[in-house]
Chain A
Amino acid sequence: MSAAAVQVDGLLKVFDVPEREAGLLAATKGLVRRKTRAVRAVDEISFSIEPGEVVGFLGPNGAGKTTTLKMLSGLLYPSGGEALVLGHVPSKRQRGFLSRITLVMGNRNQLQWDLPALDSYELNRAIYRIPREQFEPTRDELIELLDIGDLVRKPVRNLSLGERMKAEIVGALLHRPQVLFLDEPTIGLDVTMQKRIRAFVADYNARYGATVLLTSHYMADVEALCKRVVVIHHGRILYDGPLTGLADQFAAYKTIGVAVENGNADLSRYGEVIHTEGDWITLRVPKADTSSVTARLLTEEHVLDLNVEDPPIEDVIELVFAQERPE
């Protein structure tokens, strides 16, 4: 059995996507001979996640994140390669696997729309065979942690998006899964609700030692929860390492914030001025020139304060996502 909670080796998913030109003639031809194009949605990716680790899985829309999560959850069969989750092959649907994982998709629901969440929780209790003496305290604890005591008796259709998401998370965690696949769990939520869900995931991870693979377009989610990130684009992994190392690998520049005695000084000869606020001027300089520019600033200007930073993580991610698919 693999020691890693999630082990992925050369995982591949190819979809045959139908294609045709516009127009009636092309549509008629398509009846006889259908053209398809093989799309490598996930292109032989490999990574592993240790038990208890929280990993951010980043990529633009269509990068292959959800396809990967679905393969790891057993909802989609791989075209090639191997995946092991808690030592199980997901596509085999073994009970020991299914009852120890969960998948939360921000734009999907497991709770019945027309029923109060409590009724759906009861169904989960039966299906996941949760003993009542475990089920009730877990349910009540999760409800309390997410502060939805007043909401779980209303039909889910009457809840707001944020309320529904919290109720979904309770439903997904009733069986205390050891591996959480979280696909955009904070999508569409307001900032307060996002923070609350982040704090809850961190708490669940700390309390139960759960392994978490998180996708999110909100970098605040990733920064708050993940020390490590895996970046996928065009189905291939571009980066797998510490979040802090992303900028080293992908950002070609750093930012230098500087306050000088003469607040109106023109500092454009040191680098691109990207922001000015009062005396504080932010410069963008090529990474290789950072040391020399800093030294020049300190010798040539009356510097009151100065700091050197990597660009914001959002900017780095944008740079990564802008990369073309390698042929």
Chain B
Amino acid sequence: MRAELVGAGGVVERNAYLTRRYIWWDVAWFIWTVANTLTIVFIAKGVESSGVEFDVNQYMTYLLIGAVVWAYLGVLFGFLMETVAWERWEGTIEYTFMAPLSRAMHLAGQGVFAILYGIVRAVFLFGVCALFFSLSMPDANFVAALVVLSVASISFIGIGIMTSVLPLISPEKGTQLGFIAQGTLLVVSGVYYPVSVLPDWMQFLAKFSPATYALEGIRGAIIDGDGLSQMGDEIGPLILIGAVSIPLGLWVFRRGELYAKRHGKLKRSG
């Protein structure tokens, strides 16, 4: 087990080297994400200017949390999708799949780096945007928010692993298909609006989305100051979804790998 963890650590290390190699591109991408997030948060200002009376600071924080969690989810899914897509493009895919490292540890290495990188990025994104709007969060419990995000990450990783198999079985269009999962989570999880505004059937789907509970928990912690002891309704489902999605994701990935090896799809693009 220790040796497997060393292997997973090697994958984390490689991703760290690659991120360091292109750190200025990451900074540029971060600026784009900041701009995108500001655009979303400005919607609250826009609504205010139309004369509607509401707590604009709270609504801006609400939107900011949605945008940051959504960006975080994008990072996680991006890294996991790249498990296959990027290696295919780089031409290293055959060697990676031939390496004596269990698939679970290989994907764990990708997932752990994605979580670490994503959390650092999310904290910076939240901080920069909150400062920009001078948002007041007097009751915020940031520790509880980070714990919820970390627990939710396990579920996100499980779903990410399931989607990362798509480029494996469809080298040409698989990556684009992965956006379906992200899009579905976006629409049903209450990223920018409460789940209660959705039609009943969408609210039913929202119950299976870890993003729903992550957003509720983080908003509760930052806007209302909820502590972890008050988040049983969020953390419980997140743990349950994680416990199902990780093994299910690994199973799906193994099936995809089997398919790729039977049909000769384990090869570089071009």
Contact = CB atoms under 8 A, between A and B. Distances in A.
A163 interface: no
Interface residues of B, number: 30
A99 B102 CA distance: 12
B95 to A, nearest CB: 3
B92 A109 contact: yes
Chain B: interface secondary structure? helix
Interface stretch (A1-9, A119-127, A202-210): A119-127
Given A76-B264, A76-B266, A109 B99 contact: no
Contacts of B7: 126-127, 129
Nearest to B92: A110
A124 B14 CA distance: 10
Given A75-B261, A115-B18, A126-B9, A103 B100 contact: no
Nearest to A155: B21
A33 interface: no
B94 A112 contact: no
Which one of A98, A103, A111, A126 has the greatest number of beta carbons of chain B within 10 Å?
A: A126
A73 B9 CA distance: 24
Given A123-B11, A127-B7, A95 B100 contact: yes
Contacts of A16: 263
Interface residues of A, number: 35
Contacts of B9: 126
B10 A122 contact: yes
Contact of B263 (A15, A75, A112, A123): A15
A126 B17 CA distance: 14
A114 interface: yes
Interface string B239-270: 00000000000000000001001111010100
Interface of A: 15-16, 67, 70, 73-77, 91, 93, 95, 98-99, 103, 105, 108-115, 119-120, 122-129, 155
Interface of B: 3, 6-7, 9-11, 13-14, 17-18, 21-22, 90-92, 94-101, 258, 261-264, 266, 268
Given A75-B266, A109-B92, A114-B21, 11 more contacts: A73-B94, A73-B98, A76-B266, A112-B14, A112-B90, A115-B17, A115-B18, A122-B10, A123-B13, A126-B7, A126-B9
Nearest 6 Cβ contacts at the A-B interface: A126-B10, A110-B95, A98-B100, A99-B100, A77-B261, A95-B100
